[in-house]
Amino acid sequence: MTQRFIIIEKDFIPEHTFECGQCFRWNKTDNGNYIGIVSDSVLEVIKEHDKYFVYFENKEEDFIKEYFDLNRDYNMLINEILSMDDKLRDAVKYGFGIRILRQDIWECIISFIISINNNIPRIKKIIENISRYYGKEIYYKGRVFYSFPKPEVLAKASEKELRMLNCGFRVPYIINAAKMIESGDVDIYGLKNKSNEEVRKELMKLPGVGEKVSSCIMLYSLGRFDIFPVDVWIKRIMENIYLKRYESPREIEKFALARFKDKAGIVQQYLYFYFRNNKDFLKGISKSGC
DNA sequence: CCTCAGGGCTCTC
DNA sequence: GAGAGCCCTGAG
């Protein structure tokens, strides 16, 4: 069993990358490293002598490099962000080491359908439940892990089973989205060369995929940084820091895209990570409203 | 015991 | 365009 590794030396802190809310299948191990299931493989990120080693099996190096977005210079991105907006200094400094992972689009779609009106610990639990129930076994270092099931599998899943796995009101969304993808009614594998508008239109054909979920898919699986997902937290943060008034998610996205341009996606990530972990800085703004 | 919110969406009006 | 309702769980 060949085990290989590559080194990530620059602009990377595992805790920031894996716990900024973009992914749900990475977990911290007892010794402080991270282990995750990525498509049909188990990956480990291990710190040795101040360097991070990615261990993997059954994958090409190019896959790993793309997954960790290693061809992008985040340090340069940060400098450009700071040069155009000083308000982001604290958030960028705090979130240094976040990389936007290039996730599998199918798993990303279902993951963010599950995220609807849900919280992160429960999202992780539901995805784990689905993988254990429907996924394939992966053996890694004598342990068993489970891959996320393919569209054809979830297309045939029963409502009863998925309810048992705690998917709740999202059950019909999941099954019908899987059916539409499996049948080819919605083409999720031919989106690469399409415009943001075209991609969003295609994704929103899927039940349970609205503006925000489609934005997450475009950012986290297509690597489109000129996208700014607006959830309840980002809404609050933007209203608090920039707008000083209640505003609709659509207007907030418009504002952010105009201001942060092709770096909006990573800015969104820094803001989310920083303010979720420092909620006190958001006192003074109401929790909802628009 | 209760209410409320959580990386929102759909359906109805 | 606005508003109610939603499966479930932990927090308060």
DSSP readout, chain A? ---EEEEE-SS--HHHHHTSSS-SSEEE-TTS-EEEEETTEEEEEEEETTEEEEEESS--HHHHHHHTTTTS-HHHHHHHHHHH-GGGHHHHHHHTT-------HHHHHHHHHHTTT--HHHHHHHHHHHHHHHS-EEEETTEEEEPPPPHHHHHT--HHHHHHTT-GGGHHHHHHHHHHHHHTSS-SSS-TTS-HHHHHHHHTTSTT--HHHHHHHHHHTT--SS-----HHHHHHHIIIIISS---HHHHHHHHHHHHGGGHHHHHHHHHHHHHS-GGGGTTS-SS--
Q: What is the 3-state secondary structure (H, E, C) of A31-85?
A: CCCEEEEECCEEEEEEEECCEEEEEECCCCHHHHHHHCCCCCCHHHHHHHHHHHC
pLDDT of A83 > 60? The answer is: yes
* pLDDT exceeds 80 at position A284: no
Position A289 confidence tier, pLDDT thresholds 50, 70, 90: very low
Q: What is the pLDDT of residue A260?
A: 98
Question: Which pLDDT does position A5 carry in this prediction?
Answer: 83
Protein residue closest to B7, using CA and C1'? A231
For position A2, what pLDDT does the model report? 65
Residue A287 CA and nucleotide B2 C1' are separated, in Å, by: 21
Q: Which of residues 84-123 of A touch strand C (CB under 7 A)?
A: 117-119, 121-122
Can you tell me the mean pLDDT for A166-180? 98
Q: Is the CB of A129 under 7 A from strand C?
A: no
Establish whether the CB of A277 is closer than 7 Å to any nucleic acid atom in strand C: no
Percent of chain A with pLDDT over 70: 97
Closest nucleotide over all strands to A233 (CA to C1'): B7
CB-to-strand B contacts below 7 angstroms: A 20-22, 115-120, 122-123, 169, 173, 204, 207-214, 216, 229, 231-234, 268-269, 272, 276, 287-288
pLDDT averaged over every residue in chain A: 94
Please determine, for residue A283, whether its predicted confidence score (pLDDT) is greater than 70. no
pLDDT digits (tens, 9 = 90+) for A86-110: 999 999 999 999 999 999 999 999 9
Q: What is the mean pLDDT of residues A166-172?
A: 98
pLDDT for A110-137, tens place per residue? 999 999 999 999 999 999 999 999 999 9
> pTM here?
0.96
pLDDT tier for residue A287 given thresholds of 50, 70 and 90: very low
Res. A205: pLDDT tops 60 = yes
**What is the arithmetic mean of pLDDT over A46-72?**
93
CA of A248 to C1' of C3 (A): 15
Question: How much is the average pLDDT of A190-209?
Answer: 98
Provide the β-strand partners of residue A48.
A51
pLDDT in tens, A224-274: 999 999 999 999 999 999 999 999 999 999 999 999 999 999 999 999 999
Please check whether residue A259 is in contact with residue A224, taking contact to mean a CB–CB distance below 8 angstroms: no
Bases of chain B below 7 A from a protein C-beta are: 5-11
Measured distance CA(A117)–CA(A170) in Å, rounded: 10
A207 touches strand C (CB under 7 A): no
